[in-house]
């Protein structure tokens, strides 16, 4: 199956995210679960996505929806790590799907309750 590169925006913020946080349990898991679930259903949650992430999501929906839907429902979301500096925090999770695959997802750079970075490499 073709890998989906989802919503890559705010690359400078991601690149600036530095040292991993020790003993961190993650803060963005529920938001990530909702974003991925809604994308698999064909929508981009505007209450969780800031521009330009929201526009990127919409522009990529024709490719994302079938790829994500084919994986099946999410069975679990497990925190892996967080990277941050003074201006950005990006968390990485393993997302396990009912179809048997696990993809790594990153979500972050939350400003005013909305994210500007969300992506997976599969």
Q: Compute the mean pLDDT over every residue in the chain, rounded to the nearest whole number.
A: 86
Tokens of 43: 């929508």
Q: Is domain 11-120 in CATH 2.60.40, yes or no?
A: no
Instruction: Check: pTM over 0.75? Answer yes or no.
Output: yes
- Classify residue 58 as exposed, middle or buried by CB count within 10 Å of its CB (0-12, 13-18, 19+): middle
Please write the tens of the pLDDT for every residue from 22-49. 457 899 999 999 999 999 999 999 999 9
Please write the tens of the pLDDT for every residue from 50-66. 999 999 999 999 999 99
């Amino acid at each position: 199956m073709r890998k989906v590169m989802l919503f890559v925006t705010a690359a400078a913020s991601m690149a600036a995210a530095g040292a991993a946080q020790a003993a961190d349990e993650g803060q963005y898991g529920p938001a990530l679960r909702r974003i991925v679930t809604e994308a698999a259903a064909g929508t981009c949650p505007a209450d969780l996505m800031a521009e330009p992430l929201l526009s990127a999501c919409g522009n990529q929906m024709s490719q994302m929806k079938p790829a994500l839907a084919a994986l099946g429902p999410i069975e679990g979301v497990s925190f892996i790590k967080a990277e941050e500096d003074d201006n950005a925090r990006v968390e990485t999770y393993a997302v396990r799907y009912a179809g048997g695959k696990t993809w790594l997802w990153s979500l972050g750079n939350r400003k005013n309750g909305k994210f500007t970075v969300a992506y997976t490499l599969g």
